[in-house]
Amino acid sequence: MSQEIEITGLNKSFGQGAAAFHALRAIDLTIATGEFFTLLGPSGCGKTTLLRIIAGFEEPSTGVLRINGKDVTGLGPDKRPINTVFQSYALFPHMSVAQNIGFGLKMLGKPKSEIKATVAEMLQLVRMEAMADRLPSEISGGQQQRVALARALAPRPRVLLLDEPLSALDLKLRKEMQSELKRLQTETGITFVFVTHDQEEALTMSDRIAVMSAGEILQLGPPQEIYNAPVNRFVADFIGDTNFLRLRLRVKAVAAGEAVLELPGGKQASARLPASISPPVGSLVTAVIRPEQAEPTPAGQGEMQAVVASATFFGTDTHLHLLLDDAQGFVLRRQNRPDQPSPAPGTKLGLTFAPGALRVLED
């Protein structure tokens, strides 16, 4: 697969000397042609700065940026085959939906016949043919988002950058637009680079995710890998809900990438041990297990014993907040059934989990 974007040795600092703020540090990154790629991280991690550098709105302090093999590091936004959709849709209020979509093509000097055909194609793509003549004030927020996407897609850029475009939408509409964005990217084949702090958006739409913190990429990979095999505590904590346990390492290198940990209550269980760390036998390590990767069993059975502290109902599932034998907290996520009441506080139960669910992390 060809590489659409190649970033090498990219750094970005604001200010000079000791007072300088280092927004990006030693970023090396490639994004494949036709990929839905997401930059994920908390506010201030550098993801929007990186997006703006790709767009040409910011210049890197050092480093090289190539698009489709061409060095564009010093080129302005208008010289790059890129369009951007921002949080604010910035539609022209006096123009109709169709006129908004065709505006960029008009500025590029395209023939009227081509503009008309492309606008019709984009309206069909975003399923808004019936609203072509409406003003932005006459359509919903989700429909305005579709118009902004259609306008950005109309010139057929090689890359579409999306800077938290769903953040202003309510929850239900945001979920609908997640599916819509993925559909549009698949149908057009355009490379999407998406910026968000919302882990659910990243997991549901992306081919690959770069998790960022303090100007660095901490982990890069497909959603399943990021979720199931986080490289450190930050990634494990930021992506999804996670139980962190302090457990003692009893046997190391039982097999390649495995160790044996002592669980609360005294039983032992195998855990994945990353090659990047080598804690001494007998030391306390941080282990993680996702709430949905453990199963309740009758009291006295399973790998660990627990007492229910409280239960939180979420509709599709219930989160059981537990206390283990050594008083460490543990959250168990259980799928709801109509005939299954939540256990009362004080209820004793056991916990079991599949091999590989328990994982040791770097501290």
Residues 263 and 291 in one domain: yes
Residues 301 and 326 in one domain: yes
Residues 268 and 146 in one domain: no
pLDDT at 82: 93
- Residue 202 belongs to a domain with what CATH number? 3.40.50.300
Measure the CA–CA gap between 130 and 251, rounded to whole angstroms: 66
Phi, psi of 237 (to 5 degrees): -75, -35
Rounded to two decimals, the pTM is 0.88
Residues 212 and 249 in one domain: no
- Residue 324 belongs to a domain with what CATH number? 2.40.50.140
CA angle 161, 48, 222 (to 5 degrees): 65
- Counted domains in the chain: 2
CA dihedral 205, 210, 211, 214 (to 10 degrees): -140
Final residue of a structural domain among 192, 214, 236 = 236
Residues 246 and 111 in one domain: no
Residues 222 and 248 in one domain: no
Measure the CA–CA gap between 132 and 28, rounded to whole angstroms: 42
Measure the CA–CA gap between 156 and 150, rounded to whole angstroms: 10
Measure the CA–CA gap between 248 and 231, rounded to whole angstroms: 19
Measure the CA–CA gap between 198 and 42, rounded to whole angstroms: 9
Strands 159-163 and 36-40: unpaired
Tokens of 278: 């080598």
Task: Provide the domain limits for residue 247.
Answer: 241-361
Beta-carbon contacts of 162 under 8 Å, excluding residues fewer than 6 positions away, are 84, 85, 181, 192, 193, 194, 195
Beta-carbon contacts of 297 under 8 Å, excluding residues fewer than 6 positions away, are 349, 350, 351, 352
- Please, are residues 103 and 93 in contact by the beta-carbon 8 Å criterion? no
pLDDT at 1: 66
Residues 207 and 310 in one domain: no
**Residuewise pLDDT in 10s, the chain (363 residues):** 689 999 999 999 998 888 889 999 999 999 999 999 999 999 999 999 999 999 999 999 999 999 999 999 989 998 999 999 887 778 899 999 999 999 989 988 999 999 999 999 989 888 889 999 999 999 988 888 889 888 988 999 999 999 988 877 778 878 888 888 898 899 889 999 999 999 999 999 999 999 999 999 999 999 999 999 998 999 999 998 999 999 999 987 766 688 899 999 999 999 998 888 888 899 999 999 999 999 999 999 999 999 999 999 988 899 999 999 999 999 999 988 888 888 899 999 999 998 789 999 987
Q: How far is CA 258 from the centre of its chain?
A: 28
CA distances from 86 to 55, 89, 160, 196, 363 (A): 12, 6, 11, 11, 37
Residues 172 and 306 in one domain: no
- Please, are residues 87 and 23 in contact by the beta-carbon 8 Å criterion? no
Final residue of a structural domain among 189, 211, 236 = 236
Measure the CA–CA gap between 110 and 209, rounded to whole angstroms: 36
Final residue of a structural domain among 236, 263, 296 = 236
pLDDT at 254: 65
Residues 259 and 226 in one domain: no
Residues 263 and 167 in one domain: no
Tokens of 139: 């359509």
Phi, psi of 353 (to 5 degrees): -150, 155
Residues 209 and 271 in one domain: no
